[in-house]
Amino acid sequence: MPDAPLRMAAVGLDHRHIYGQAGHMIAAGAELVCYWTEGQPETLPGFKKRFPDVPFQPLDDIFARADIDLILIAAIPADRAALAIQAMEAGKDVMVDKPGCTDMDQLHAIKDCVARTGRIWSVNFSERFEVPSVTKASALVAEGAIGRVAQTVGLGPHRLNRGTRPDWFFDRKQYGGILADIASHQIDQFLHFTGSTDAEITLARAGNYANPDDPGLQDFGQIVLQHGDCHGFIRVDWYTPDALPTWGDGRLTILGTEGTIELRKYVDIAGRPGTDHLFLVNGTKCEHMACRDVGLPYFPALIADIRDRTETAMAQSHAFKVMELALLAQRLAED
Amino acid sequence: MPDAPLRMAAVGLDHRHIYGQAGHMIAAGAELVCYWTEGQPETLPGFKKRFPDVPFQPLDDIFARADIDLILIAAIPADRAALAIQAMEAGKDVMVDKPGCTDMDQLHAIKDCVARTGRIWSVNFSERFEVPSVTKASALVAEGAIGRVAQTVGLGPHRLNRGTRPDWFFDRKQYGGILADIASHQIDQFLHFTGSTDAEITLARAGNYANPDDPGLQDFGQIVLQHGDCHGFIRVDWYTPDALPTWGDGRLTILGTEGTIELRKYVDIAGRPGTDHLFLVNGTKCEHMACRDVGLPYFPALIADIRDRTETAMAQSHAFKVMELALLAQRLAED
């Protein structure tokens, strides 16, 4: 008899990332059995459209259900830590949208809770876990296709989409700052591709250069980080122009001592159609690889981890370290 | 009667950049009348092949000739300042390959000499002046196609070509360090595209990660610089892999508050043929522009400047500032 499917509840739908969290887990075999959210977030109609048979349930009832294994959280960033802790105290594992939390006190409380409960606190770094070309790049780097990784350069432009954004999006306290929020993706990728378990934030900047009427918004951010001989540069912004056919021209350039990988994750501007373009150049190859169908191992691995109490999808210490560095960078940028 | 052509001598052929310096000036109407170099550099046969009718002449004789207006210098970097000063003292203007000098004492001596003699000390920042797509990008930025420039990201990988490199290439003292040498290009581009006359070097790194048998070589470098709300990131390296069909995949990404320009200067990897690919994305456009034939205004402008005693090709203060920042970054990286 096969294992019963993993059963999930979605708690806090405030960011549309919940669609990907739930959708990819369902595709990997999990079952979404109910949801809760505060009020009527802009994302609710889209959620109901995608998951029409999933009923609302009060929060306490969800946490009290013995048949639910995993809580998916995409609440307002500042509220995510408390929900995650409540879920873990109730014996559930957690997958939270990034940023997993918005200040160091929250992070410490989460760490304490994980230590106390033995639960999994996973952060869905969607710019890696939901991007098949990153899966391919990981395999190439692991097999030595570009030698030792000396540097990652991650550029993460995002479309502001002002009309669709709720008030919390423009409130520094609630979204956590641009580095804690979107640059946590690129910190994750730096640690992942350089094989680092730690890093020093050597420079951090955050500013608002294009949206003077939104003083709570940071629309530009930079981080430089380093671990031994591994270097990382990160830029994030909310400047994606209207004519780009997608939300952002996210790039990752991985410089190895024997080759380079460039990912044009979401668009090859004025070029090839579709997403997930990988460019490999090394001693013998100079080629484009279409990676759309390479697969997303994080989601099935998380299902296995929940069943087996392992850490194959992402080391727990990695999730903690990414958020610690992101929060540290945010603090440095604002000092 | 048209003006007589500008007359030039090439002095110090140690770097093959002399081919471009001379070739572009000849294309703009100048005449190369003689050359001098120390010994038999690896570049000499290529020079004779390109300029077969140009005779050798002793250095002192060249400086004594009243009919020579401009001295082109591509000597060993550490020797360039002394040659430039000697040329200017003899009443000649100078165009030097980058780096224009290799330490602060040299730079101060050059500044003093320019002030004293009124001569032009121009540095041929070839990754701007010899690249038509940069000409196009300059025009687009000037006409406001991407709003205010918030950041430049310049990636400058280079092929090591070990077999063709002379001993001085591996001697830190003689080539000046990777940031003073090749990163001066990207500093030039940062100041140019942000319209800055100064900058703060906020981070600088140089290392040798792939060539342990060449302890004098720095094969990796990074600079972060900032001027007000304008940010710049620079990475340079000597890691271009063999399968790349050219010497380096030089990129410049210019982030504006209302759009982005990406230059794939020398190659569009596994993509379009040829050089000088510009990608513009803004509120209404998302397009590729082929810029091969846009033109290189620096060279004719320098001819006019020499005739008219103007600074249209490049402000003298800009050339000084670029080298000052490059030398400062180099010093910071080695502290």
Kindly report the CATH number assigned to the domain that includes residue A25: 3.40.50.720
Closest approach of B233 to chain A, Cα-based (Å): 8
Say yes or no: A283 contacts chain B, CB-CB below 8 A.
yes
| pLDDT at B4 (0 to 100) | 87
Say yes or no: B269 contacts chain A, CB-CB below 8 A.
yes
Place of tokens 């294309």: B27
Q: Same domain for A104 and A133?
A: no
Q: What is the CATH number of the domain that holds A151?
A: 3.30.360.10
Average pLDDT, chain B: 97
CA–CA dist A123, A101 (Å, integer) = 10
Say yes or no: B197 contacts chain A, CB-CB below 8 A.
no
Per-residue CA distances from A19 to A35, A167, A231, A238, A243 (Å): 12, 20, 33, 21, 25
Which region, left, alpha or beta, applies to residue A127 given φ > 0 means left and ψ of -120 to 50 means alpha? alpha
Position B2 pLDDT exceeds 70? no
Give me the residue from A233, A242, A260 closest to B233, CB to CB. A233
Residues whose CB is less than 8 angstroms from the CB of residue B74 and which lie 6 or more positions away in sequence, other chains included: B10, B12, B13, B14, B15, B16, B17, B18, B21, B43, B80, B96, B97
pLDDT, average across residues B34-56: 97
Say yes or no: B286 contacts chain A, CB-CB below 8 A.
yes
Q: Same domain for B90 and B223?
A: no
Q: Give the bridge partners for A71, in sequence order.
A: A9, A94
Number of folded domains that form chain A: 2
Residues whose CB is less than 8 angstroms from the CB of residue B334 and which lie 6 or more positions away in sequence, other chains included: B177, B206
The amino acid occupying position A284 is: T
pLDDT tens digit sequence for B153-205: 999 999 999 988 999 999 999 999 999 999 999 999 999 999 999 999 999 99
Q: Has residue A335 been placed in a domain?
A: no
Q: Same domain for B149 and B189?
A: yes
Characterize the bridge pairing of strands A230-237 and B286-290. unpaired
Q: Same domain for B88 and B136?
A: no
Q: Has residue A312 been placed in a domain?
A: no
Task: Read off the DSSP letter of residue A62.
Answer: H
Tokens of B17: 């950049």
Closest approach of B105 to chain A, Cα-based (Å): 30
| pLDDT at A2 (0 to 100) | 59
Helix, strand or coil, per DSSP, at residue A189: helix
pLDDT, average across residues B135-162: 97
Q: Has residue A11 been placed in a domain?
A: yes
Q: Is the dihedral of CA A304, A263, B180, B230 positive or negative?
A: negative
| pLDDT at A3 (0 to 100) | 72
Tokens of A217: 């918004």
The amino acid occupying position B221 is: G
CA–CA dist A83, A73 (Å, integer) = 8
Helix, strand or coil, per DSSP, at residue B125: coil
Task: Enumerate the H helices of chain B as residue ranges.
Answer: 17-27, 44-50, 59-64, 77-89, 104-117, 126-129, 132-142, 172-175, 178-181, 183-194, 298-308, 316-334
Domain end (from B76, B109, B124):
B124
Which candidate in B226, B229, B231 is best for mutational testing of the A interface (most A CBs within 10 A)? B231
ipTM of the complex: 0.96
| pLDDT at A261 (0 to 100) | 98
Q: Same domain for A151 and A44?
A: no
Q: Which of B129, B154, B140 is nearest to B261 (CA)?
A: B140
Give me the residue from B151, B224, B259 closest to A241, CB to CB. B259
Q: Has residue B91 been placed in a domain?
A: yes
Q: Same domain for B108 and B151?
A: no
Residues of A within 8 A of B153 (CB-CB) are 153, 155, 233, 235
CA–CA dist B158, B219 (Å, integer) = 9
Q: Is the dihedral of CA B282, B286, B288, B294 positive or negative?
A: negative
CA–CA dist A59, B22 (Å, integer) = 75
Task: Read off the DSSP letter of residue A56.
Answer: B
Tokens of B150: 């918030």
On whether the CB atoms of residues A63 and A87 are closer than 8 A, the answer is: yes
Per-residue CA distances from B200 to B178, B187, B225, B256 (Å): 19, 11, 5, 20
Which candidate in A211, A239, A247 is best for mutational testing of the B interface (most B CBs within 10 A)? A239
Question: Who has greater pLDDT, A4 or A118?
Answer: A118
CA–CA dist B21, B124 (Å, integer) = 7
Position B79 pLDDT exceeds 70? yes
Q: Same domain for B63 and B148?
A: no
Find the closest chain A residue to B230 by CA distance. Answer: A209
Helix (H) or strand (E) holding A136: helix A132-142
In chain A, the N- to C-terminal Cα span, in Å, equals 57
Angle (nearest 5°) at CA B237 between A222 and B263: 65
Q: Is the dihedral of CA B21, B24, B28, B31 positive or negative?
A: positive
In B39-68, the residues whose Cβ lies within 8 Å of chain A are none
Closest approach of A159 to chain B, Cα-based (Å): 11
CA–CA dist B140, A175 (Å, integer) = 35
Residues of B within 8 A of A283 (CB-CB) are 241-243
pLDDT tens digit sequence for A64-115: 999 999 999 999 999 999 999 999 999 999 999 999 999 999 999 999 999 9
pLDDT, average across residues A198-208: 98
On whether the CB atoms of residues A241 and A269 are closer than 8 A, the answer is: no
Q: Same domain for A63 and A140?
A: no
Residues of B within 8 A of A210 (CB-CB) are 147-148, 150, 257-258
Position A222 pLDDT exceeds 60? yes
Say yes or no: B241 contacts chain A, CB-CB below 8 A.
yes
Q: Which of A103, A102, A96, A92 is nearest to A124 (CA)?
A: A96
Task: Kindly report the backbone phi and psi dihedral angles of residue B296, in degrees, each rounded to the nearest multiple of 5, phi listed first.
Answer: -130, 85
Q: Quick one: pLDDT band at residue B46, thresholds 50, 70, 90?
A: very high
> What Rg, from alpha-carbon coordinates, does chain A have?
19
Q: Same domain for B65 and B142?
A: no
Give me the residue from B146, B270, B281 closest to A286, CB to CB. B270
Q: Give the bridge partners for A237, in sequence order.
A: A157, A220
Task: Kindly report the backbone phi and psi dihedral angles of residue A28, in degrees, each rounded to the nearest multiple of 5, phi listed first.
Answer: -85, 0
Is the CB of A222 less than 8 angstroms away from the CB of B151? yes
Residues of A within 8 A of B151 (CB-CB) are 220, 222, 235
pLDDT tens digit sequence for B251-310: 999 999 999 999 999 999 999 999 999 999 999 999 999 999 999 999 999 999 999 999
Q: Same domain for B203 and B110?
A: no
Burial class (CB in 10 A: 0-12, 13-18, 19+), B60: exposed
pLDDT tens digit sequence for A237-250: 999 999 999 999 99
Q: Has residue A238 been placed in a domain?
A: yes
Say yes or no: A226 contacts chain B, CB-CB below 8 A.
yes
Question: Prior bond to B99 cis, omega within 30?
Answer: yes
Q: Has residue A41 been placed in a domain?
A: yes
- The domain in which residue B47 lies consists of 7-124
Q: Same domain for A205 and A89?
A: no
Is the CB of B237 less than 8 angstroms away from the CB of A150? yes
Q: Same domain for B115 and B139?
A: no
Tokens of B295: 């033109």
Laid out side by side, the sheet with B286-290 consists of B200-207, B220-227, B230-237, B149-157, B251-256, B259-264, B277-282, B286-290
pLDDT tens digit sequence for A141-177: 999 999 999 999 999 999 999 988 999 999 999 999 9
Q: Has residue B318 been placed in a domain?
A: no
CA–CA dist B64, A146 (Å, integer) = 53
| pLDDT at B1 (0 to 100) | 45
In B79-138, the residues whose Cβ lies within 8 Å of chain A are none
Question: Prior bond to A99 cis, omega within 30?
Answer: yes
Q: Has residue B240 been placed in a domain?
A: yes
